Every structure is written in structure tokens, then in C-alpha cells.
Structure 1
Amino acid sequence: MSQTVFAPWSDPGAKPLIEFRNVTKRFGDFTAIDGLSLGIYEKEFFALLGPSGCGKTTMMRMLAGFETPTEGSILLSGQDLGRVPPNRRAVNMMFQSYALFPHLSVWENIAFGLKREKQDKDAIDARVTEMLRLTRLEKFKSRKPHQISGGQRQRVALARSLAKAPKLLLLDEPLGALDRKLREETQFELMDIQEKTGTTFVIVTHDQEEAMTVASRVAVMDEGRLVQVATPPEIYEQPATTYVADFIGDVSLIAGRAKPAGERVEIAWAEGQPPIVATSETSLSTDQSVHFAIRPEKVHISKERDETRPNLLQGKVEDIAYLGNISTYHVRLSDGTLLKAQSTNHRRLANRGITWEDEVYLSFTETAGVVLTE
């Protein structure tokens, strides 16, 4: 039986859970968010991604109610949040520091918000027990925060945030305090919990890998604007601009001038070098300035010259980044351009054929890269 693909954003009839409508936020003369419009759908795991100062945290703080838009409006389930105070919103926020109460047990930390609402004792017991099971913390329920690990504290904060069953959970760099291995494990736990609860998650992060791993869609931001909003595969394989291509993953960018011929395009990029032959979905004019973006894993590297291979370029290995499962080769072409190629390390180190200063040939197919106009 085929599984239904989750993509409400591609359904013209679907209404977003959250809507930013022409939202601008200024702090004095500084514009943090600039005329931004965006829809986030129910049950999405949505990532706001960008460098420090791009406006992603300001967006989250406006959703939580800690900041108000200078212009425009933010809607949750069709309701304008402008006049709704933070404590009356169906929104919860999980902070990077976790902000757990050190004198309370794990159980009491999770129950705290429910007790403040003066919920029935049996209902609190049932809800906390459910959250402990969901986050696999049953056997730690009597411990204080200092008696459990960083990863477990992170799960307590998550359980406490979800206990009140918010429509929307905001996560501000939630895994920043964890070491790399634990962070990777916790990413999958977050995805699993989000799927089980059906809560809409919005995560703020500057970690590209994290956003690409957990999110159903990613919004790449720069200077208060959305540069591209798309699924992780679309962001990676079809970046809208050189900024997105460069910000997400590893990439080689080559500037040149286009000579279109139908769907194919020849890119003249360096004196004495053959043109790069690529394909483009956007219509280009002759001699138009473009950038050709190609990921290292799409570039084949060899010491043998094979004239049958498309886009064949010659260069010298300048550097090698050994990452265990893969190696990235930095190859300097004769005109000075640096191009990266990647290969899987099938063999042990001693048996590998390419090393520093080797003359090599790089090649890639016509559809391997993306032609960008901005």
C-alpha cells in the first residue's frame, strides 16, 4: 500500500495553521523582518534557517508573543495574534537553556504548567505519565535535573512543553548544548515525537544539517527576508540563488556567461577552458551573466583521461579532506578556479589511488549542476 506524501503546502485548498502577512519588525532604525509573508501548515516540522542576525529568532519571538510586528499581522488558526498575550496563545516555547526547575523532580517539572492551570489531579497524573512514556523518561521521573544527562534534560524540557498540548511548539536552537553524536540521535527522537503527537513544530537553527534532517520544509533567511522556502531535497538540489547554494552544504560556484540552445546551455567561464554544458529550467538570454553551482558528490575524479565523459576538466589536487566515509578533493584548474570532487572511501587509506599534487581529470553530467541567475 503506497504511503500518502505529506505536502499540504502543495494543496491549493489547504489553509495554513500559521500565517505571516506582510510582517515587518523594526527596532529603531534597524529592520529585523522586512515585509515577510509565509504559511506554515498543521503537523509540519518547519525550520527557520539562517546565519546570526538574519531575523529567525525575531520571527519566533513574534509567534510566542514576546515581540509584536511593526506592520502586518500574524494569524494562528485564522485568529490575529496581535492582541493575544503570550500566556493566552496555544503556543509553547522550548528554550535553548531548557530552563528546568533545579529543585523539582522530572515528574514535577513536566507537571508544573498543568498544576498552574489547576487541572484535576488524575488528569495531571495521566498526562505526565503519557509524556514520560513518549520521551522514554519513566525510570528518571523521581530524579532532579542535575542527576540526569544533558540529552535527558532536553527530553524533560520537551515533555514539559508538550504537556499542555499546544497547537504550536517553538524550539529555539534546542540541541545546541548537546555534543554532535547525541545531537544526531536526538534529532531523530524529535522527529519521532513530533510525528506521534501531531503538534506543529517550528525550529530555529543555524545548523544546516539539523534543518535538513528534521524539517518537512526549510525557510532559508537572510537580512530579514525569505530567500527560499522549500523541502530539504529541493533546497539542496534546486537552490534558488547562489546564497542558498552556498549556505546549504558544500558547493563549487563558477561564474560565466550563458549561450542557450533549447534546454541546454553552454557556459563560457574561463579563457582556454572548454565551455560547461548544462541544462536550465529558466529561460536565459545569450551572454547573460550566470553562476554554475555543482555539489562535490556530483563530480567524478580520476587520474585517467576519458574523452567519452561529459564536461571533462583537468587540474591538480591541492587539498584532501578525509571524513572517514568520504574524501573531498580540492582541485585547482589551470585558470586558477578551485573545484571540489567527492568520492566514497570503499578501500582502506593505503589502497587509495589519488593523493596531493596528482594531476587529475574531473567530469560531470549535463544535469549534475544548477544554473543560477542571482
Structure 2
Amino acid sequence: MNQTVFAPWDDPKEKPLIRFKGVTKRFGDFTAIDDLTLDIYEREFFALLGPSGCGKTTMMRMLAGFENPTEGVIELSGQNIVPVPPNKRAVNMMFQSYALFPHLTVYDNIAFGLRRGDMPKHDIADRVDEMLKLTRLEKFAARKPHQISGGQRQRVALARSLAKAPKLLLLDEPLGALDAKLRQATQFELVDIQEKTGTTFVIVTHDQEEAMTVASRVAVMDEGRIMQVATPEKIYEAPNSSYVADFIGDVNILTGTVKPAGEGLYQVHWSEGREPNIAASDKNFSEGQTCHLAVRPEKIAISADRPADADNALQGKVLDIAYLGNLSTYHVELQSGKVIKAQTANTRRVSRRSFTWEDPVWVSWTATAGVLLDR
């Protein structure tokens, strides 16, 4: 079955649902958002990812109407929503604390927002039933929030947020209060619910794994600016800067200078007196330009002898081993003093591990394993 790939951002005819146009937000002397331009499309699950204080929550609060931009325009379906008060926007926000009413049942919590509108009673009942079914809470409709688990409370908050069928749902660190296993299960639930309702979701998170699991696209932010917007695969495999490479997942970054070495190939001179690394790149670099070679640990092999056909091979000794159950990460100290991380799958029991601390080893990778970056 040939499923069409969902990628409205690649279609010039598609109109975005949300547009940030030259948006700046200052709090006194502090610039939280710096001249931001961004498009988000209908039915996207869009993640804003970045460290604390990077501006992602400010962006979300501006979409909700709790903050106004100092400069610039925010459009929803082609309309400037900056002057529109929060309760008149087709936008709903689900808070990290869930903010459920403790004295109301699950059913009444979900119905609360609908009852404040002018929806007929029987329509409210139908809509609440639909939301209970969507979030698999039918059995818990008569319970109060303290009588259900954290994961179920999270689903009640989601059902309540979706009950009024907003065009846009904002989720602020929605899974922050859940334990690791439940978070994982809930991430897939969120994706499932988002696909079923077709609502556009914008999630704020500092958890890169969460962003990579749920999002159709991720915006990596730093100090009020967007560093890169792309699908999770592109962010991971083709980061546009060493900041993005370093922020998403584990990475080795070798900094050096570049020398062209034939069609799409470059030598990276990174340590005095050591042989250069070879890296492939579609980007053009000029001779002597500073560059950063980013190589993921899972793309680096570790062996006792120098591999005969490796594009890049460096000698070192095992400094540390992080055992992660299914994987082991070897920290290998090179002769230059730099530490490189190499990752291997644990297909055999730990007692049969090939290398241990202080062992001399070779780390190697292909010319295409790394990404050559200019910043």
C-alpha cells in the first residue's frame, strides 16, 4: 500500500496554518524571541525543542494570547491574531499541571468548557462521549481526578482540551510529570490521538527523545532563535550546525581545517602531526576553512586491529564503558588526548565483551558517516 508522505512544508501551494512573521518579544532589556519567522501547517505535530530559557514557552504563550509580541505578526489561518483575546482564538492550551477540577468527575471536567459555551445539552453529551472514547476513559467517567492514575489524568486534560475542537492545541511539557515507561506509552497515544482528530499540535519540550518520537517536524531553538527546522530524521542525520548536532543525541565533534580532496571529498586536519580524516560533503568548503566533523557514536566501529579498508582509523585506549543494556558506549582516548565515543549493540552477554578498560583499540568510520559543518 503506497501511503502518501505527509510533508505540506515541501509543497509551495500549501498555505500554512500558523505564521510567525518577524516576531520579536522583549521583556525589558531581555530579548526572549529574536526576529522569528516560521510556518506551521495544518495537521502537523510540531515540536519546539531547546534548553530552558531558549524562548520556546514564550512562543507558545504568544500563540495562546497570554503574551503579545513586541514586534511582528502572528497569523492563524491568514488572520493576524495578535489583537484577538485568548478566549476568542481557535486555540487551546494543555498545561503541564493538567489543571483539572478536583471536585468534578472526569466527565464533568471534559464537559466544563462546552457548558460555558452555548452548545445544546445533547450535543455536549455526544461530544464528551466521543472524547472519552478517543482517550479510552469510558470506564473512568464517574471518577474524580484523585481516583485515577497520573497517565489517566493526563488523558482527561487532553480530552478536555480537544472537546471544543480547536484548530490548534498547544501542549506545554505535557508528559513532564509521568515516569519514563509511561511517558513512552503516552507519546504513542498522543500521536495516535493527534492523527485521529487531525488537530494541529504544537508541543514544547526539552526532551529530545520525546520530540523525535512524536513530531512531524522539530524546531531546535537557542537564545530566542530557531537554529534548524526539519523532520526528526533530517535533524539527526543532517544537522546544520554543531549546536544542533550536539543538542540531539550523542555525537563526536572533531574541529579542524579543511582541504579539498577530490569530488565531494575533504581532508580534515584536526590534530598537529596526525593524519587527516576523510569526509564526504555536498557543501562547498574552501581550503583552510575551519570546520566541524560530527560523527554519531553508532557509526563508529571499534576493533583490536587497524581495519584494512577504513577511510578513517584512529588508535587509542578504552577509558570508560557505559553499559546501557542493549548498547555499550566505549569512551576511547586517542593519542592526541581527545576522547571519541563508539557504540556497539550488546548481542552477547557482558561477560563475553571483547574490550575492557585500558585496552588498546582502533576506532574507525567511513567518509560518509560524518557530517561536515561550517559552524
**TM-score bin, normalised by smaller chain:** over 0.9
Equivalent pairs counted in the alignment come to: 374
2-side partners of 1:305 and 1:227: how far apart?
38
1-side partners of 2:126 and 2:291: how far apart?
60
Q: Which stretches in structure 2 are left out of the alignment for 5+ residues?
A: none
2-side partners of 1:64 and 1:283: how far apart?
42
Name the residue aligned to 2:303.
302
1-side partners of 2:290 and 2:175: how far apart?
41
Please state how far the C-alpha of 1:272 moved relative to its aligned partner: 2.8
Moved over 3 A (4+): none
Name the residue aligned to 1:129.
129
2-side partners of 1:354 and 1:133: how far apart?
52
Name the residue aligned to 2:120.
120
Q: Deviations over 1:202-253 (max 9, x none)?
A: 0000000000110000000001001000000000011111100110000011
Residue 163 in structure 1 maps to residue 163 in structure 2: yes
- 1:1-374 alignment runs, 5 A limit: 1-261=1-261, 262-374=263-375
SS in 1 for 2:161: helix
CA RMSD of aligned residues (A): 0.7
Q: Deviations over 1:262-312 (max 9, x none)?
A: 300000111232211011111000011101100000000111222222201
Please state how far the C-alpha of 1:119 moved relative to its aligned partner: 1.2
What is the identity, as a one-letter code, of the residue corresponding to 1:134? L
SS in 1 for 2:271: coil
Q: Deviations over 1:120-176 (max 9, x none)?
A: 111011000000000000000000000000000000000000000000000000000
- State, as a whole percentage, how many aligned pairs show the same letter: 71
2-side partners of 1:357 and 1:136: how far apart?
53
2-side partners of 1:310 and 1:288: how far apart?
21
1-side partners of 2:309 and 2:324: how far apart?
30
What is the identity, as a one-letter code, of the residue corresponding to 1:264? L
The range that moved more, 11-20 or 299-308, is 299-308
What is the identity, as a one-letter code, of the residue corresponding to 1:7? A
1-side partners of 2:348 and 2:239: how far apart?
33
- TM-score normalised by the chain length of structure 1: 0.99
Q: Deviations over 1:25-82 (max 9, x none)?
A: 0111111001000000000000000001100000000000000011000000001001
1-side partners of 2:205 and 2:39: how far apart?
19
SS in 2 for 1:240: coil
2-side partners of 1:340 and 1:272: how far apart?
22
2-side partners of 1:203 and 1:306: how far apart?
45
